[in-house]
Amino acid sequence: MLRVKSRSGASRRRHFLISWIKGNCEINYDELGKHLGREMTGQRPLIGITMRHELETERFYLARTYSEAVEAAGGAPVHLSLIPRVDYIGSMMERVDGLLLPGSASDVDPHRYGREPQRFLGSVHPLKDETDLLALAEAERRNLPLLAICFGLQVWNVSRGGTLIQDIATEVPQAIKHEQGSPRGRRSHRVHLLADSALASLAGAESVLVNSHHHQAIETVGRDLRATAWAADGLIEALEETRPERWAVGVQWHPEIAWEEDEFSVRLFQRFVQAARNYRACEQGKELTSP
């Protein structure tokens, strides 16, 4: 393990690091690099992305756009196989600096939030549910930055004790169209953003146009989460972590689809990767200041 050597300026540098670590580690990593006497801008944070499960072929797969958006924002994407073993997930989560939960062709098993399956519940993929929930538990334990997208948002809410609307069309008949079809990159409806939210800060506006590809939605919000975006029909479109020591955001839309054509999506991935950089720097600082 690295140590801060006893030399001129070392005690001041150590004092800075200890003070910084006692905070929430939200500091520009370039500034931290100056105090560590090293270049940190070239270090790409590792972003773990859980995959999807195709039941018919027994394949794990993932749309390329998730990884491409992460890479363009400065991260290094790492695909996580859907192997719901605590030792495997724990080992992988030790290595990554952030977690991205992507969309899925499946629905979260309603038994996981205390409900019976309704008529229009979609297919349930146990390997997806179990792996994502294990990854979330490890991310919680480590305070890893999190970006949860569509199914990812829903399973995150369920992991915190929240519930889901199993089928919007039958349970919310007055709802707008949330399954837009093709073209998938078209921004089809507007969402209103909470004024003091992370998303509103990134958007620089009170509302934004988003794409929409979901038949389920958030019903009740889980613990330590708050709703920060809504569609015109009142359905929740985003959740954010309420605890200040952790950056975690979930959105119901798909910012990875045609991300390069949408400045808001670009900023969202950049902010997520920045949070992962900060996390990585914080962990390195802890090693440097450990006795």
pLDDT of residue 29: 46
Distance from C-alpha of 156 to C-alpha of 100, rounded to nearest angstrom: 11
Distances (CA, A) of 20 to 24, 187, 190, 278, 281: 8, 41, 39, 11, 11
Per-residue pLDDT reduced to its tens digit, 62-118:
999 999 999 999 999 999 999 999 999 999 999 999 999 999 999 999 999 999 999
> Residue 159 pLDDT > 90, yes or no?
yes
Q: Kindly indicate the confidence band of residue 43, based on its pLDDT and cuts at 50, 70 and 90.
A: confident
Q: Does pLDDT of 146 surpass 70?
A: yes
Report how far residue 64's alpha carbon sits from residue 52's, in angstroms, rounded to the nearest whole number.
12
CATH number of 10-289: 3.40.50.880
Cα distance between residue 84 and residue 275, in whole Å: 26
pLDDT at residue 38, as a whole number: 46
**In 10 A of CB 113, how many CB atoms?**
20
The rounded distance, in Å, linking the Cα atoms of 27 and 110 is 40
Given a cut of 60, is residue 162 above it in pLDDT? Answer: yes
Rounded Cα distance between 50 and 128, Å, is 8
Hey, what are 9's tokens?
């300026």
Write the pLDDT tens digit of every residue in 239-285.
Answer: 999 998 899 999 999 999 999 999 999 999 999 999 999 999 988 77
With left for phi above 0 and alpha for psi between -120 and 50, is residue 254 left, alpha or beta? beta
Q: Give 9's pLDDT tier (boundaries 50, 70, 90).
A: low
Lowest mean pLDDT among 25-39, 111-125, 127-141, 176-190: 25-39
Parse the chain into domains and list their residue ranges: 10-289
pLDDT at 7: 41
Q: Which of 16-30, 31-45, 131-145 has the highest mean pLDDT?
A: 131-145
Structure tokens at 55: 């039941």
Contact 53, 125 (CB under 8 A): yes
pLDDT for residue 140 is more than 50 = yes
